Every structure is written in C-alpha cells, then in structure tokens.
Structure 1
C-alpha cells in the first residue's frame, strides 16, 4: 500500500501534527506500506525530522500544497493540517484513491473518506455539519496516534516522587519549560529532566538552573523522549497528543495548554480524572504552578488515581487500529466467478503461496477448473476475491463445519506479499462473515507449524493457538 502524508511542523506551529503522523507512518511501514511525506519548509522545520526516520520527503515550495503526481497513485492521502480542508482533499483525489483527515477543531468542511480526532471531546455529532455522509469517523483516545513505546503498559508507581520530566512539545513557543523549572526550584532534591524543544531561547538558562542538581539535565531534543517519560514519576507538560502519551504510560501529570486547540481535550481529560489541568499558559497566575506541584508531590493516592484513570482511557493501541483500518478500508470482497479461474490458479500456484499451504503441490489446470466449478456450486462454501483500487489483492475461502462454525483459509496474490495486506484481508473476511453468515460465531484456521507469518497474523487478530489449529470466537 502507498500512502502520502501531508503535515507541517515549525517553531510557531509546533511539532504535534508531524509527530503523530510519523507514529502512524512507522506503523504502516512495519506492515509493509510505502509512506511519503509532503511538508512546507517552515521556520524551525528540519527535514531530518522526516528523512531521519527513513521516509521520503517532498518539500512544498511557493504556493504549492500538493506534491508532484506520483508514477503510481497513492492508496491513501493522510492530511493533518488545520489550514486544509475540503478543497485540498478533493484535489488530492487526482493522485490518491482515498483521503483520511486528522483534525481536532471541527471548524471546516471536509471531503474525506475518514476523519480521525483522538480527543475525548470528539464525537460524530460534533463533526456532523462538516463531513460527507459517507465518511467514517474514528473518534476518541481509542485511535490516539502514539508510538510503540506507549503501548507497553505501565511500570509500578513510586510512593515518593524522585524524578520529574518537563516537556512542552517540540518547540515550546510559550516558554513553559522555564516557568516549570523555576517552580521546581522549591524542591531541590528532585531529579529533573527537561526536553526543552528545538531552538528554545531559554536553553542556556534551563541548563544553568539544573547544573549541580543530582540526576538532572536539560537537552534541546532527544530521540528517546518516550523512554524518558516512562521512567519519570511525574510529568509536567502540554496538552494535545503528549497528554495522551502520558495517560497511556500511566504516569501522573500536570498539564498546561499551550495552544487553543489543546484546551478542549485537556479539559475533558481533567474532567475524566486523568491529569491535573491548570488551564492555558497565558492565564497562569503567580504561584499556581508551585501550588499544583506541591499538591501532586505530597499526595500519592492522587497520583495513583490520575495514573489509573489515564490507563483506562488510553490503551496505546490506537496507532495499530488506524493502520489496520487504512489497509482494510481499501479492500472490497466479492464472490468469485468462473472468469476468476486464471487469477486464482496463478495466485494459488505461486511458489511462496504453495510453500505456506497444507498441500504444497502445484495445481494442474484441469484439476483447478473442476475444483472451481464445484466450489461455485457448493452452498456450504464461500470463495471470495479481495480487491483494492488498483486491482486484486488476495482470496478467502470459508467452509461451513459444525453448526455455528466455519474454517477460514486465505492467501495474498504474489504481487501483494510483504506489503501488509494480510491483516486487512482477514479483517475484511470477518466483516463479510458478520454480514453474510451471521450464524457463524466460531472460525477455525489450519496453519503449518513453520509458517510464522500466518501464526502472527491470526494471533494479532485475536485467534487462540490450539494444539492443532487457531480458533476465533466472534461476538454475535
């Protein structure tokens, strides 16, 4: 699958849009997708933020908002930009089959196939005036675009806070890191780590304030921010995506909104009991940070409550869910017909497919034709062909067994191997089953012992590994 991401980052804009898109891009690439970015060279943006992660980058110069037309169309264009809406999305269809918009504001029209807003404040009702009726909504922290470090679960909380992390995003235009460190001077025994953000004018001052404090340091940027967050006992930071990261780690936090678009989400997380929220940076009163820090540092039950509620709301699996959705949304299953004989013969006879089959012997054409004719007449068997916008992807066969049970078998066509389509094909098969054979609640799958890829595929989809096969029970 080929994906284009349109997102920007800069000193004034911040880095949140780009960071969450990079998390999604990494998840897509891990599943075999080819991902490219299109970004404007805004002040403060470093191309290495994208290319350093191994992704192709189109720099948009002048008035251009779209990259050059690709040799092959993209399956998806993903746009995460408050300045772009329905007009950009409609134009993107010239080179992309489908469009996913990522938004927080619900303030402009969209012409997309899907809209993602991972804030607690998101809802179908909020976006109803702005979306086409055909668009699917991915709403709430269930779809939070977080990196893998944030899906590893919590570590035990310390009874006493020993280490505090301060980070207000990739650029900290509001200067909140300095204000937080100045407030923390009242607790000289705490180890304080600060990730100040690119080009922070207070960097030297921050480093001077921490000099001599045991276990403390201030860096401008770092690659291991997630690891630093995971080892902190308390985090002081901004709203937006970073507040969801803290929740997924189960680390209690003190939040200050540094942009207007962070206010609604930060407020809802506070109302849900997932962090302590002080409001917008511009409205902080003298002594307010110190008072809130003192409350959290002295109150272990409060810290435990904030951490536990955060973990309940954000499970860290959102990026994987969105990646699966992007793959699955491009697939359509249709019943096989006689004219598919050559397609299915070539697909099943591919060496890589035969190697993973229970019967690895090559098929003969007469045998295949006879099998297909019998299959198409069998009321207890469904043979399906999966297609994306650019052609066929694979095949699924479902065979009824005992009442309420069926066996599932699937394979990808050779040109689609290694591109991440397996999970999407299995998800599409589950959706077809729910619609067409709703009485079938149990699926069984035979997998060769040495077929690690198929074993991972079924495990990731929730199948249980039994002694002789994999089994899945779906909800009625």
Structure 2
C-alpha cells in the first residue's frame, strides 16, 4: 500500500494536521506499506516531527489537491487533512479527514474523529465509508506508550498547552489562571516566548517535541480544545479546556458534556471571571475529580484510531488477508499447525498435543470471553492462526502460528496485521497487546518488530514485546 498524506503546517493553522498525518504514516508502515507527506511545513516543530518520523516530505505543487502528478502516479491512497478547498484526484482511493463541517468534502473514505461526530448526522454527499468518532483519532506511538505508563502526579503540577503555535497568544493568560487556581508548579509551552522569568513556579518551554512525555505525570493540563484533547484523553490526563478558535467550539462542548474535561470558557474570560479560577482551583485540589475525567477519557479514546483508518483503506483496496473467529470445524487444522515441529520449537511448551487434550482446550477457548482465537485466510486458503489472551482489564497477550505450507512467503506480518485489525474492530477500548518471544527466535523477533512491537522487558527467560 502506497499512501500520500496531504497536509500543511503554518503558524496560522498550527501543527495538528501534520501530527495526525505522522500517526497515519506509522500505521501504514506497521502494515508493511509506504507513506509520503505532501504539503507545506513552515513550523519548525512540525518539521522536526516529520524528520523524527523518517518521513519524506514532498512540497505541494501542480496537480489535484496540490499533489505533483509524477508523485500521484504511484499512489494507492491519497489522504487529505486540510481545511482548504481543493480538487481531489481520480483513479486512486481518496480519504479525507474532517472536523465536523471543517474540511468536509466528498471522499471514498471519510474520517471524522471529532467528539461531536457521534451525535451529528453527516449530510449525504456521495461519499463512501464514513469513520466517525474518536475511535478513529490518529495518535502517534508516543501517546500510546504514555498511556501505558501514566502515573498520578505529586500534586499541584499544571501543564499549559495552547497549541503547537499558540496562534492567539493564550498561554500567558492560562498560566496566570493556573497560578490563581493554586498550582504549585506550572510548565507552559510558550512558542512566542512571551512569558517572563519573574515567576519561580513557572517553567516556560518554547517548544516540546514529545508532548506525551511532558504531560504523563501532570495533575492537570490546561489546553486548547484542538487535536491535543484526543492525546490527553488517550493518556488519561485530567484536562481543563479553552476553545481558542472557531473550529474547536464543538469539540470543546462535547468534551465537557462527555465528562472528559472541565470547561473554562473562552480566552477573554480566563482572567476576567473569578468563577473560572474557582472551577480550576477545585479540579487542581481534587484527585477524585481528576481520576473521573481521566478514566472517561481513556475509555473514549483508546489510541488505535490510526490503525483503524489504515485497516479501512486496506479493506477498500481489497488488500491483505482477513481474520475470522475460529470454530469447532477448525479443530483438526489447528491441531496440525500446533504440532508442527517448527511451531512447537518456538512455543513455551514444546511437547506434542494429543487429539483429546486439543479438543478440550479448543472447547475451553471458544467458551472463554477473555480469549479470542482467529483463523486468518486469503483467497487461496488458510494462512495461520492468532490468539489473544486477556491479562487483566487493559492487556492481551498475542500468539501466532503460520500454516506450515504457507511459510517462507513473507506472510507473517500480514497475518498479524489482519488479526490486529479484527481486535481493533471488536475491542472497546483497544487493549495493550503484548508478545512473549524466545530470545533466540530471531524470525519471531523480526516479525513483531516489523509489526510495530518494541522490547518492554525480559520475563522468565522470554523477551516481552509491546505493540506501540
């Protein structure tokens, strides 16, 4: 799958469009595809994010949607994340991300990850598949990593984030509000460098490349109501929101109504209305309210949105195998795969399994709601099996076995991708996915690393990997 991601980052528009594109690029690569960003990136922070992701950046030019014709020829998917009005290409799958009415256009796949998308019917305009709601919010890997390690702060630490460029100059007012509300320490992103050094409780940062790392142990984040809301909700950080531009009004309202954020009102009221400081003071001082906001946010935004979008592209293109739930009719095939010598050598238990033991095991797995057993197939037949076993409320362990006759064809990543797509489509919220691999099993280690897993720990002689 070759994907072109059309977006821009300018001082007047911020970096949210590029951040979402980078998240989608990561999901494309986890499926073994290629992604290229096309557009104008004038904000230094956005340029660093693109460079850190290892993405090629092609300047916008002549051609539909500003995509140069010679670049367009090789694409399977063109994804648009821009509010600008522009023509769309033909003879290629067109995907478009919109925030309610902002950026709305006809497309083969429409993505509206806004909080308001669940409640608003989208007008019929001839578009194809519509992916609506925060389940489809594209978030980068560092956000999902922060979700796994989020810890409650020590008390009184407020982070202020008024967008990657703070286009309306709201950081100063938000910092003063946080101090009035009793913050013992304030860390503020101040792109314009307007905050003075005269307040010892305030640390001002001109730019932060990894926002997730900055907020992971904050008690409260005061934020603009843009794309950062989805990142904070996913991590589980209590937030107090300010709608700083018109396209944030709906997301702001729905975030407050959904109980994932405290509403502070518009920028001009931050310091003019004493009741605003009182509301924020109550949140800063109340761990119970903080926990309530954080828990609801994590339930609403699980971090798997980028992969769900790419799953939809792959399905629309007819690309890759599909996963289905296993059944009793698969018993003989699953036993043959389990007892294959190569499979046993890579398993925790290397002994052959008898027919009777296998049938008892299969009946137990099929009846157990905490376990998901899948068979992955393509048009030529079965490719293998993947199993997910729950470990608590928010983690599952994955295991995989390829059909012996299908080995050597480079299919393992596609098999795992199909199983993960099935899990993302059925799980609410998407759990963290872990894999245990023998340290000497180089092939399995490469497979999981190519699929986006990272080394997390070593346990009982096994390498523990976690999906980014």
User: Partner of 2:8 in structure 1?
Assistant: 8
* Superposed counterparts of 1:177-196, under 5 Å: 177-186=171-180, 190-196=184-190
- Residue 169 of structure 2 corresponds to residue 172 of structure 1: no
The offset of 1:130, in angstroms, is 3.1
- How many angstroms apart in 2 are the aligned matches of 1:106 and 1:16? 17
Q: Judge conservation of contact 2:8–2:82 (CA < 8 Å) in 1.
A: yes
- How many angstroms apart in 2 are the aligned matches of 1:271 and 1:229? 23
- How many angstroms apart in 2 are the aligned matches of 1:143 and 1:174? 28
Q: Judge conservation of contact 1:7–1:38 (CA < 8 Å) in 2.
A: yes
SS of the equivalent of 1:50 reads: helix
- How many angstroms apart in 1 are the aligned matches of 2:44 and 2:210? 20
- Residue 97 of structure 2 corresponds to residue 102 of structure 1: yes
TM-score of the aligned structures, taking structure 1 as reference length = 0.66
Q: Judge conservation of contact 1:80–1:102 (CA < 8 Å) in 2.
A: yes
User: Partner of 1:237 in structure 2?
Assistant: 223
Q: Judge conservation of contact 2:82–2:103 (CA < 8 Å) in 1.
A: no
- Residue 242 of structure 2 corresponds to residue 250 of structure 1: no
* Superposed counterparts of 1:220-299, under 5 Å: 220-282=206-268, 284=270, 286-288=272-274, 289-299=276-286
User: Partner of 2:444 in structure 1?
Assistant: 452
Q: CA RMSD in A?
A: 4.1
Change (3 A) 1:153 1:53: closer
- Residue 203 of structure 2 corresponds to residue 208 of structure 1: no
Q: Judge conservation of contact 2:236–2:298 (CA < 8 Å) in 1.
A: yes
Change (3 A) 1:235 1:70: same
The offset of 1:161, in angstroms, is 2.4
Structure with higher Rg: it is 1
TM-score of the aligned structures, taking structure 2 as reference length = 0.67
The offset of 1:246, in angstroms, is 1.2
Change (3 A) 1:67 1:383: same
Change (3 A) 1:303 1:257: same
Question: What CA deviation, in whole Å up to 9, does each residue of 1:169-226 have, x standing for no partner?
Answer: 11001111111112233367612111223xx1xx1x414144x33xx42111122211
Change (3 A) 1:68 1:234: same
User: Partner of 2:77 in structure 1?
Assistant: 76
The offset of 1:100, in angstroms, is 1.4
Q: Judge conservation of contact 1:263–1:280 (CA < 8 Å) in 2.
A: no
- Residue 318 of structure 2 corresponds to residue 331 of structure 1: yes
Structure 2 alignment gaps of length 5 or more: 322-339, 345-374, 386-400, 424-436, 453-468
Change (3 A) 1:425 1:302: closer
Q: Judge conservation of contact 1:113–1:136 (CA < 8 Å) in 2.
A: yes
- Residue 115 of structure 2 corresponds to residue 120 of structure 1: yes
